[in-house]
Every structure is written in structure tokens, then in C-alpha cells.
Amino acid sequence: MAEIKSFRTIMYSREVITDFISPPYDVISPDEKTRLQKLSLFNIVNIELSDYRDGKNKHKNAAGLLQSLEDDGIFEREEKPALCFYEQIFEDHGIKMTRRGFCFFEIGRSSFRVNCER
């Protein structure tokens, strides 16, 4: 049986985040990625689709950027652990759809990952 635990989520610390958000990583074209990066250095696409930079692979670069955004106060960590529920409303081929789910940590022997299940 899966063990689900709450965690301290990380959120943008600003009220207006329009320039910081992006579509899901798997639907962003190279041109769209460039457009989003130009909106703000803090756009999440810089973490989701991080590039090899400064001798670091894209995963280490993304981890470093995430940490620096938290250190600089762009992201803030919630005070109390919680489960993170979400709802996405979108249209696919003219049909309005709603997806609901929650995010959780999956802890293994030597690593963890964040999952978003629906």
C-alpha cells in the first residue's frame, strides 16, 4: 500500500504571476520556450526545460535555479506541510474538460520524486 505524506510546498511569493507560468513542459515548442524565457527570468520554463549551462547538466542547473529562486524570495515555502490538490480546466478538440488530482512525494531507497496523480 502506498504511503502518502504531506510536504511543504513551494509557491511564487507574488500576487501577479502571469509572466512566471507556462503550459505543461511536453507541449512547449522551442519558439514558445524562447518567448516564455523573455517574459521573465523567473518563468518556470527555465526550471521545467532547463538547459545545459555552466558545466552543469540540465537537471543540476534546474535544481540550482530552483534553490536560488527560493533563496532570493521569488519562491517561498509554505510554513506547514500539506497535500497539494489541483484542478485544471482545459479544452481538447472542442470539448471542455476538468482534471483534478493531488501531488505527493514518492520516497524510494535513495531518491524521491514528486508525482501529480489524477
53-83 pLDDT tens trace: 777 788 888 888 889 888 988 888 888 888 7
d(CA 51, CA 17): 22
What pLDDT does 118 receive?
45
Range of the domain at 118: 83-118
Task: List, for residues 91-102, the tens digit of each pLDDT value.
Answer: 899 999 998 887
Report whether pLDDT(85) > 60: yes
Is there a domain that residue 38 lies in? yes
CB 33 within 8 A of CB 56: no
User: Are 103 and 84 a contacting pair, CB within 8 Å?
Assistant: yes
Q: What pLDDT score was predicted for residue 106?
A: 55
| 101 within domain boundaries | yes
DSSP symbol at 26: G
Number of structural domains found in the chain: 2
Q: Examine residue 1 and state whether it is found in any structural domain, yes or no.
A: no
For the entire predicted model, the pTM comes to 0.65
Q: Does position 31 have pLDDT exceeding 80, yes or no?
A: yes
